[in-house]
Amino acid sequence: MDRKKLIVGNWKMNKTVQEATVLTLKFKKELKDLKKSEVVFCPPFIDICAVAKGLQETNLKLGAQNVFYEEEGAFTGEISPLMLKGFCEYVIIGHSERRIYLSETDKMVAKKVAVVLAHDMTPIICVGETLHENENGLGKRVAIGQVEAALHLVTTSEVKDVVISYEPVWAIGTGKACDPEQAEKMIKSIRESISMLYGKKMGDAVKILYGGSVDKKNVAFYLKRKEVDGVLVGGSSVVFDEFVGIVGAAEKI
């Protein structure tokens, strides 16, 4: 597919406001004139204002790592889509770390996806199987099941507006990246299932990324695959040289 590669940096629970400010300015200086890639930083909530300020007058985009599915009210500790709107173009939804450590369910994921779309932001829906599921040959079924559940409240015409990230749990933060050919196969299967449910036009339009131990050395192997529309980067996104290397590789594809 001939379109810009999407490179998403998920900073996870890293960087204080001061550290985020310094890192953003370094990225701003280095990542100029991007032609072949779209770069999104997803810092922790508390850093969002500082990073937004740092990214002013650049083409670099901002995203959040999560959101709540109500607009306001008695939901202690949560952040509403209204609060993110205006700062963020993207919101990561259903990351496996939230599904595992914070008991986020498919139903919550579906509600969050719907609310993000309703506020004109792009959800990046994370799906992927655990090692146990993978070893039992359930990878495809689990990942596609999570995609279908996440799109439950989305209308057919909105499907093109979501981004999906295939992230096998066993590859996240482990240094054991998924074989690029396997990742592409899974992404192709996800696309086919979307085409079957919502029509080929939607299946072709939806961007599908790979995530899991992506670094500057292996990123090109994913980005060269035609089904892979980009990468979601965790650990390497907060290491300056690594992330600059990743974006540099995307610009050369």
- Residues catalogued as catalytic: 95, 167
Considering only residues 9-48, where is the footprint of ligand PGA by CB under 6 A?
10
Question: Smallest gap, in angstroms, from Cβ of residue 16 to ligand PGA?
Answer: 19
Distances, alpha carbon 240 to alpha carbons 34, 41, 43, 195, 204, in Å: 17, 12, 14, 38, 33
Closest CB to ligand PGA among residues 173, 245: 173
Question: Smallest gap, in angstroms, from Cβ of residue 152 to ligand PGA?
Answer: 22
Member of 67, 172, 178, 249 binding ligand PGA (CB under 6 A): 172
Our finding on whether 173 is near ligand PGA (CB under 6 A) is yes
User: What is the end-to-end Cα distance of the chain in Å, rounded?
Assistant: 13
Question: Smallest gap, in angstroms, from Cβ of residue 223 to ligand PGA?
Answer: 15
Considering only residues 190-249, where is the footprint of ligand PGA by CB under 6 A?
211-214, 232-236
Question: Smallest gap, in angstroms, from Cβ of residue 165 to ligand PGA?
Answer: 7
Distance CA 219, CA 8 (A): 12
Site residue total, ligand PGA (CB under 6 A)? 13
Distance CA 218, CA 165 (A): 17
Closest CB to ligand PGA among residues 10, 24: 10
Member of 167, 184, 229, 242 binding ligand PGA (CB under 6 A): 167
163: helix, strand or coil: strand
Closest CB to ligand PGA among residues 203, 234: 234
Our finding on whether 168 is near ligand PGA (CB under 6 A) is no
Distance CA 29, CA 118 (A): 34
Question: Smallest gap, in angstroms, from Cβ of residue 82 to ligand PGA?
Answer: 26
Closest CB to ligand PGA among residues 104, 153: 104
118 Cβ contact partners less than 8 Å away, ≥ 6 residues apart:
81
Residue 31 has phi, psi (to 5 degrees) of -100, 75
In 45-89, beta strands by DSSP E:
61-64
Task: Answer yes or no: are the C-beta atoms of 91 and 121 closer than 8 Å.
Answer: yes
Closest CB to ligand PGA among residues 98, 111: 98
Computed from CA positions of residues 143, 149, 153, 157, in that sequence, does the dihedral angle turn out positive or negative? positive
Contacting residues toward ligand PGA, per CB under 6 A: 10, 167, 172-173, 211-214, 232-236
